[in-house]
Structure 1
Amino acid sequence: MATDDEDKVLLAVCDVIKGSTLLKAGRSGKPHFRQFKLSNDLSRLMWESAKKMDAAVLISQITEIKTGQVTPVFLKNPIPQCEAVSFSLLYSDRSLDIVCKDKKEFDTWTTALKALIVDKYDNKEAVSAKLVEMRGSIVSEDRLEVQLGTIKTKVLLKDNSCDLYLWGGGDRGRLGHKDDKPRFLPNVVESLLGQNVTMIACGGSHTIALNSKGQVFSWGAGPQGCLGHGNLRDRYSPLMIDGPLRDVNVVHVACYENHSAVISEDGNLYTWGKAGPFLGYMDDSVTKQTKPRLVDALYGTRIVQVACGRSHTLVIDEEGRVYSFGINKFGELGQGHDKAITKPTMVPNLVSICKVSCGRHHSAAIDEDGVLFMWGWGARGQLGQGEPKSLFSPTPVNGFNDQPLEDVSCGYGHTAAITANGVAYCWGDNASSQCGVPSSVYGELSSPRGIVLPSGIRPTQINCGANFTVLVTSIGQLFTWGCNMSGQLGNGEAKKTFSQPMPVESLSEKRVKMVACGEDHIGCLVGHGWVPDEEVKSCMACKKSFTAIRRRHHCRQCGGIFCGSCSTKRYPLLDKGHADPVRVCDKCYVSLSSSSNIK
């Protein structure tokens, strides 16, 4: 069996074969972006060159790899802000001098090249097998054409570059806008601009966000310990969770009313919040777990997804097996009984599962064939069995015209799903028209019912709040329907219900990539772009109004608008194609400087 270090090297070598755009320091003049990759036979490091058809160096010729900026080329033309993500390859009295875009890319390239050059790694069979396994991701990535002075070049487009928008009920700071006021239209979370948020989870009264660096931020109500900051205080703006997650690269987040959970890159599960069996600790030594804690019972089992209900938790491992734990009053654990379970326990008769979702007291899972299974509380018809009844074991749901399902989400008392052919369904509690039909016609639906959408609209993601539903289309449009008493539907008002899906007009010019719902608030990730001038009348840092003298400036990192006093610094943004330092706001400068200096 391969060790963790062997697996790390193998993955790094495969990523280097895949290639990426790096900054190549020039012997004279400015550095320039070039696409680098390792040959499939591990013998050559190749890169694009304006002067040569096939610029390359043989791995066998390279005698040493030096980190930092210590070669004559770097000393002549240093890029001090990028010292910690720079390295040089020495060969034939020359050096190949490289700057990476971030620490993760630096670690990948130096790990692979050190293995090849120093440790003489040549396990071509393992590399070949891994490349076949990764074939779905070994494709030519999108490029972004950028202007560098008078020269145009292309760099890789970071698809995970997103901004976070939140709206709806604002009690206890759950929207992250530094107050407890509701928002009836989507508002960008200013303090997370430039953080490249990749995932969002909304609980009953708190919110969690994950960025591309694997860091987790939380805010909102603190008395249950759900924020993970080691105290019970409310937070009105995002704060990074430190402590146990300081050196952990997180890849997945989830939360609900009483607890929160994350999964690390190596497949470990961490939970925190109000004490209970839904944390999975197998002890009752704490009344509240205010910091993330490893779920020891699952250590060694690689977890890939987690979902949280009000008092239960579901996880999927890499083999597609489902484990459940928590309070089990309605059979929401799927174990065939109603007894609480503290230790994560495999759910019988569920195999090859690729998606799970938890409602308040009911659960759902989709297997690799697109078959939907449901169990738990079903008094409002939310289990889709044709009658309102609860189930203690996973049971298939029919009614989708023999189409496999691609997504499912559970609300308080209703459920929503999307089929592979792009049809959305809802069923269960419809008291607030959350199932997409007037509540006066159907108070509840015990079987899946298709949602009527405008012609040409293809849904790709669906999510349920307490008593409302949200849908994302293939072109990034956002539709909402159901209860709107807190303005959570994003249409500019906070009254009545809406029984038909309505587009969120204020996001019509933006591309929504992900949505998550809480009890009465919504968060969505929007493809990153500059904040339009007309949306901001004052500096987003000092709040002073812009005038003919106090001019506005865009930060090239976060896209926000600032006055000259709050954006005096410059920094090279390699991931955006800027090798020369460009204007950034003071907050982004501090963040960029600190992350670049991580050793």
Structure 2
Amino acid sequence: MASNTSAIIAWGSGEDGQLGIGDNEEKECVCAVKALDFHSVRSVVAGSRNSLAICHDGKLFTWGWNQRGTLGHPPETKTENIPSQVKALNNAKIVQAAIGGWHCLAVDDQGRAYAWGGNEYGQCGEELERKDDTGRPLRRDIVIPQRCAPKLVVRQVAAGGTHSVVLTRDGHVWTWGQPWPPGDIKQISVPVRVQGLESVRLIAVGAFHNLALQENGTLWAWGNNEYGQLGTGDTQPRAQPVPVLGLSGLTLVDIAAGGWHSTALTDEGEVYGWGRGEHGRLGFGDNDKSSKMLPQRVHLLAGENIIQVSCGGTHSVALTRDGRMFSFGRGDHGRLGYGRKATTGQPMEVPIKIPPPKNAGEDAAEKRWIAKLVACGGRHTLAIVEWETDESKHTDTDIPIV
């Protein structure tokens, strides 16, 4: 991806510098993250209060909230509003990463996993020898990225509110940390394999719930289920994976988990959503903001040929094959990108109004920015966009493989 024809864009809350634009202001409309203009970015991740970008050469950049060491370098400041490279990972080629409540995970091209940030629930995988007055291990924040799950060859990492989940190259799922709301269950810092899951090809993790998509297309879920985010038809939590109901006969190609809601995407570009419906984050319409115990088709996106859905804390964004983005859910702090603070369950297109690249040519008025990947955080959103070329007008676009 050439840096002169691509850009990283952001919108929403900026109070912790998570937009990466050099200030801590919120943006109700799309703006460019200019500090990354000269880097070839392949993937972006938006967390609850911070962000990261992965370049094609494996370099990792972070920005935003830093009080728990979530940026991966010494916490000289509470927040940082300009992306900076995580130098501790210079010798690794990072290919995928995730941000949890206040910790981060990453994996390199060799299958080695790394963790940093808050670690009081063992979510970074390290225990200290010191004990508190009750005999429990005292854990410190991990300011500099360190290896985690060293015995596993990892393909994908995912981070929850206070727990971590990884998918290994042999299709197994492992987890550690505090998988339930703090206080509900004893935390662990040593990876434990999730029983009953074989041949998994993709995982997605919300605040306290987890999804795993098998190679055969079966979707499994476990964890907190207060709003029906497991898709089991009830609100009972599950300590072990159970099949998500209501998706039989569909060929699933992607999944996503937000704070308390979930989505699945079919090979025909149709979106299914379930879980917490407050603020319209499921996209079922302005008058339907109730929680859904079972997956339901998002009819308002029918025919749009969706290739990716990203779920944030209280909003969602769907990406179409031709590079448009539709957002829906809670609208304060500008997180929907519409230029106003409306909360809506009606998916609406996000205008990408940033200047064309300097080499756009005389026909710039006839072309546009095409979104390639989107990432929703707690109250902000990031996306990768490319400038339309004559070839891209006649070629299907796909999200990058990360």
Q: Same fold judged by TM-score > 0.5?
A: yes
Tell me how far 1:486 sits from its aligned partner.
1.2
Instruction: Check if 1:226 corresponds to 2:226.
Output: no
Q: What residue number does 1:290 align with?
A: 143
In 2, Cα distance between equivalents of 1:528 and 1:195 = 16
Quick check: 1:409 aligned with 2:256? yes
TM-score, scaled to structure 1: 0.58
1:460–1:474 contact (8 Å) kept in structure 2: yes
Give the Cα–Cα distance (whole angstroms) in 2 for the partners of residues 263 and 416 of structure 1.
24
- CA 446–194 in structure 1, closer or farther in 2 if over 3 Å, else same: same
Please say if residues 414 and 427 of structure 1, whose CA atoms lie closer than 8 Å, have aligned partners that are also in contact.
yes
Q: How far apart are 1:453 and its partner, in Å?
A: 3.6
Q: Which amino acid letter does the alignment assign opposite residue 344 of structure 2?
A: F
Deviation digits for residues 240-265 of structure 1 (CA, Å, limit 9, x no counterpart)? 1112x121111111112210111111
Aligned mate of 1:278, from 107, 120, 123: 123
- AA aligned opposite 1:202: A
**Aligned residue type for 2:257:** C
Structure showing greater Rg? 1
Could you tell me which residue of structure 2 aligns to residue 511 of structure 1? 370
Name structure 2 gaps, 5 residues minimum: 129-136, 354-366, 390-402
In 2, are the aligned partners of 1:168 and 1:486 still within 8 Å (CA)?
Answer: yes
Deviations 1:433-454 (A, max 9, x none): 1111246544211111111245
Equivalent position of 1:380 in the other structure: 227
Does the residue aligned with 2:280 lie in a helix, a strand or coil?
A: coil
Kept in 2: contact 1:163–1:194 (CA 8 A): no
CA distance in 1, matches of 2:387, 2:237: 43
Contact 2:279–2:314 (Cα < 8 Å) also in 1:
yes
Instruction: Give the match for residue 432 of structure 1.
Output: 279
Letter in 1 for 2:375: A
Structure 2 CA distance for aligned equivalents of residues 434 and 506 of structure 1: 21
| Corresponding position of 2:180 | 329
2:103 equivalent in structure 1: 259
Q: 1:520 to 1:347 in 2, by over 3 A?
A: same
Aligned mate of 1:311, from 151, 156, 162: 162
Report if the CA contact (8 A) 1:202-1:522 is conserved.
Answer: yes
CA-to-aligned-CA distance 1:259-304 (integer Å, 9 cap, x gap): 0111111111110001231111244565211110111xx3242211
Give distance in 2, aligned partners of 1:428 and 1:232: 39
C-alpha distance in 2 between matches for 1:416 and 1:226: 27
Q: Deviations over 1:552-574 (max 9, x none)?
A: xxxxxxxxxxxxxxxxxxxxxxx
Greater shift in the superposed pair: 283-292 or 320-329: 283-292
Query: Whole-Å Cα distance in 1 between the matches of residues 157 and 49 of structure 2?
Result: 19
Amino acid of the residue matched to residue 499 of structure 1? Answer: G
Q: State the Cα RMSD in Å.
A: 2.2
1:194 offset after TM fit, Å?
A: 2.0
The secondary structure found in structure 2 opposite 1:398 is coil
Q: Any idea what the Cα deviations from partners look like across 1:362-390, whole Å, max 9, x if unmatched?
A: 11110111111111110111111112221
Amino acid at match of 1:289: I
CA 1:384/1:158 → structure 2, altered by over 3 Å: closer, same or farther?
A: same
Determine the structure 2 residue equivalent to 1:247. 91
The secondary structure found in structure 2 opposite 1:486 is: helix
TM-score w.r.t. the length of structure 2 is: 0.86
Contact 2:221 2:243 (C-alpha < 8 Å) held by counterparts: yes
- Assess if the C-alpha contact under 8 Å between 2:279 and 2:289 holds in 1: no
Matched, 1:501 2:347: yes
Structure 2 CA distance for aligned equivalents of residues 216 and 356 of structure 1: 21
User: Distance in 2 between the 1:427 and 1:232 partners?
Assistant: 41
Partner Cα separation in structure 1 for residue 196 and residue 382 of structure 2: 34
Q: Is the 8 A contact 2:288 2:345 kept in 1?
A: no
> In structure 2, the residue corresponding to 1:248 is in which secondary structure?
coil
Q: What amino acid sits opposite 2:65 in the alignment?
A: A
- CA distance in 1 between counterparts of 2:210 and 2:34 reads 34
1:209 matched to 2:53? The reply is yes
Question: 2:387 & 2:20 partners in 1: Cα distance?
Answer: 18
How far apart, in 2, do the equivalents of 1:441 and 1:490 lie? 21
Whole-angstrom distance in 2 between the partners of 1:374 and 1:305: 17
Q: Is 1:173–2:17 an aligned residue pair?
A: yes
User: Percent of pairs identical after alignment?
Assistant: 28
Change (3 A) 1:415 1:186: same
Q: Which one of the candidate residues 171, 183, 188 is aligned to 1:320?
A: 171
